[in-house]
């Protein structure tokens, strides 16, 4: 069964304290791995899409990496405005419906 697991469930950081969020996946075949940021009471906001192992993408303080079994979202010198829930989702090659399988998310709190 296709599965996506995110860890940790919650993470508290001091401003400037770099860390990484993990998204491990067990799927029949990976078509794409997506990272989203979600603020309370809002819809998810797109961050990155990764398609193959070894791929990396960066945006400001965020960098996403992908291996054959997991993805990391690295946050460098985070600021309080980076506080949000970060969601990971995958699309598999075996599913023609285009639907995403979501992980449970990591709630990040960055304290000033």
Partner 1 sequence: GAVVSQHPSRVICKSGTSVKIECRSLDFQATTMFWYRQFPKQSLMLMATSNEGSKATYEQGVEKDKFLINHASLTLSTLTVTSAHPEDSSFYICSARDAPPGAANYGYTFGSGTRLTVV
The Cα 104–Cα 79 span in angstroms is 23
> Is residue 94 a contact point for partner 1 (CB under 8 A)?
no
Q: Does 28 bind partner 1 (CB under 8 A)?
A: no
Which residue in the set 51, 56, 67, 77 belongs to the binding site for partner 1 (CB under 8 A)?
51
Q: 103 to each of 41, 85, 98, how far by Cα in Å?
A: 18, 11, 16
The nearest distance, CB 72 to partner 1, in angstroms, is 19
Q: Does 57 bind partner 1 (CB under 8 A)?
A: no
With CB under 8 A as the contact rule, the residue among 36, 66, 75, 84 that binds partner 1 is 36
User: Are 12 and 60 within 8 A, CB to CB?
Assistant: no
Q: Shortest gap between Cβ of 88 and partner 1 (angstroms)?
A: 10
Q: Which spans of this chain sit near partner 1 (rule: CB under 8 A)?
A: 32, 34, 36, 41-46, 49, 51, 87, 89, 97-100, 102-105, 107
């Amino acid at each position: 069964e296709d599965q996506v697991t995110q860890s940790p469930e919650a993470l508290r950081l001091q401003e400037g304290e770099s860390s990484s969020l993990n998204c491990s996946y067990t799927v029949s075949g990976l078509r794409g791995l997506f990272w989203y940021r979600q603020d309370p009471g809002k819809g998810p906001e797109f961050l990155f899409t990764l398609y193959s192992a070894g791929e990396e993408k960066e945006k400001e303080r965020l960098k996403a990496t992908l291996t054959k079994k997991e993805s990391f979202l690295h946050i460098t010198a985070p600021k309080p405005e980076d506080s949000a829930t970060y969601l990971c989702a995958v699309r598999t090659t075996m599913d023609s419906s285009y639907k995403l399988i979501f992980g449970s998310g990591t709630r990040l709190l960055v304290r000033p």
